[in-house]
Amino acid sequence: MSLLDRIESVKQAALNELRAAKELPSLERAKGAFLGGEGQFTALMKELGTLAKEVRPLAGKAINAAKQELEAIVAEKRAELELRAALPKEPTDFTLPGRRRSLGKLHPLTQVTDDIVKAFRRLGFAVADGPEIEDEYHCFDALNTPADHPARDAQDTFFLDVPSKPLLRTHTSSVQIRVMKSQPPPIRIIVPGRVYRRDNADATHNPTFHQIEGLYVNKGVTVGDLKGTVEAVFQELLGKDVKLRFRPHYFSYTEPSLEIDFTNALVKKLGKDWLEIAGCGMVHPQVFENVGYDPEVWSGWAFGFGIERIAMLRYGITDIRLFYENDARFLKQF
Ligand code: DAH
């Protein structure tokens, strides 16, 4: 057999042995037998000197090419066997209890939402729900927000790229319409839920956040009911030293409309006198018309506030993004 043929057959033998290795030691042993200092390829190299000058470079090249190919296979096989060696020998039973018992905790936003819901339930409010993917009718039109209103600006709203142009609700107020359309008054609901706006993320804004909507419809409802209810809930949530201030504002679905400012010791510590915390007002007669309630008979109020805002006040958090990063070191503190 010529040297070239022998190189090829040694290479084939090496390939077979390397590929057959089932554990790291047998792989290393095979590597040594072929590629090591005492290995078969070293022996073949030594024979080069006995060859005629013309064929020597060709044979040398063939040996080097074979060695390179085999080294690559060794590396690949080694990685595979190392990975296999690192895997557990027995299947893992993920249902076994942990060595350190820990059930985890509810996310701070969930805790705050639960507390707000509890406070309102005590006052007789039921929890209602609605879709996050909404249409313009429920999110804007029925709320008396005309098509040229700035709140409908494409800057603020995420639209879905399909022909019916659904959108991600920008506020939970859409659920007011859904609930009033589905049942006759009286109504006393709150709606916790996620909303979406095209805000760039910074310390106090995020493209998605959470709100609680409130709606009370009955006969002879007054702004006094609204103030008393909101004040009672905020004091329960954030302490007795809470003070609220109601300021005139504009929302298309309430008349009059008010904004609620909030203060307590923490707000003062942040160097502020008041923090804007909610929008509210008496339900606009046009909204009642839109859902088929007689505005001459029924009156009501509504409010909406951001849950993150309240959680930040409660816990003294200054960066909203902490709520969404799910860093266990942050979450463990609540
Ligand atoms: N939807 C308003 C917002 O997202 C908040 C709001 C204001 C809700 C007044 C209401 C309301 O129900 O009456 O900023």
Which ligand 1 atom minimizes the distance to the CA of 211?
Answer: 4
- Kindly report the pTM of this predicted structure: 0.70
Give the distance (Å) from ligand 1 centre to CA of residue 161: 26
Give the distance (Å) from ligand 1 centre to CA of residue 258: 10
Ligand 1, atom 13: closest residue by C-alpha: 280
Same-domain pairing of 79 and 112: no
Predicted confidence at residue 280, as pLDDT, reads 97
Same-domain pairing of 241 and 153: yes
Same-domain pairing of 249 and 317: yes
Ligand 1, atom 5: closest residue by C-alpha: 304
Residue after which a domain boundary falls, among 20, 52, 86: 86
Residue 253 lies in a domain: yes
| Spatial contact of 167 and 194, defined as CB atoms under 8 Å apart | no
Which ligand 1 atom minimizes the distance to the CA of 171?
Answer: 4
Q: Which residues contact 196 (CB under 8 A, 6 or more apart)?
A: 132, 158, 168, 169, 170, 207, 208
Provide the residue range defining the domain that includes 272.
Answer: 108-331
Q: What torsion do the CA atoms of 62, 65, 69, 74 make, to the nearest 10 degrees?
A: 90
Residue 91 lies in a domain: no
Same-domain pairing of 148 and 293: yes
Give the distance (Å) from ligand 1 centre to CA of residue 297: 23
Same-domain pairing of 119 and 152: yes
Residue 94 lies in a domain: no
Give the distance (Å) from ligand 1 centre to CA of residue 303: 5
CA distances from 151 to 52, 147, 158, 169 (A): 89, 9, 12, 12
Same-domain pairing of 73 and 218: no
Predicted confidence at residue 155, as pLDDT, reads 66
Two structure tokens written together for 195: 């909303």
Residue 7 lies in a domain: yes
Q: Tens-of-pLDDT digits for all 334 residues of the chain?
A: 788 888 999 999 999 999 999 999 999 999 999 999 898 989 888 888 888 888 888 888 999 999 999 999 999 999 999 998 888 888 888 888 877 777 788 999 999 999 999 999 999 999 999 999 999 999 999 999 988 887 677 668 999 999 888 999 999 999 999 999 999 999 999 999 999 998 877 887 889 999 999 999 999 999 999 999 999 999 988 888 899 999 999 999 999 999 999 998 888 888 889 989 999 999 999 999 999 999 999 999 999 999 998 999 889 898 999 999 999 899 999 9
Give the distance (Å) from ligand 1 centre to CA of residue 280: 6
Pocket mutation for ligand 1, best pick of 173, 180, 303 (most atoms within 8 Å of C-beta)? 173
Residue 172 lies in a domain: yes
Same-domain pairing of 45 and 121: no
Ligand 1, atom 12: closest residue by C-alpha: 303
DSSP labels, 81-109 = HHHHHHS-SSPP-TTSPPSS-------HH
Give the distance (Å) from ligand 1 centre to CA of residue 302: 7
Residue 275: helix, strand or coil by DSSP? Answer: strand
**CATH code of the domain containing 160:** 3.30.930.10
Residue after which a domain boundary falls, among 36, 55, 86: 86
Residue 162 lies in a domain: yes
Which ligand 1 atom minimizes the distance to the CA of 279?
Answer: 7
Predicted confidence at residue 17, as pLDDT, reads 92
Same-domain pairing of 59 and 131: no
Predicted confidence at residue 73, as pLDDT, reads 92
Residue 129: helix, strand or coil by DSSP? Answer: coil
Identify which of 198, 199, 176 has the alpha carbon closest to the alpha carbon of residue 280.
Answer: 176
Residue 99 lies in a domain: no
Pocket of ligand 1 (CB under 6 A): 171, 173, 213, 251, 254, 279-281, 302-304
Give the distance (Å) from ligand 1 centre to CA of residue 192: 13
Residue 36 lies in a domain: yes
Which ligand 1 atom minimizes the distance to the CA of 254?
Answer: 13
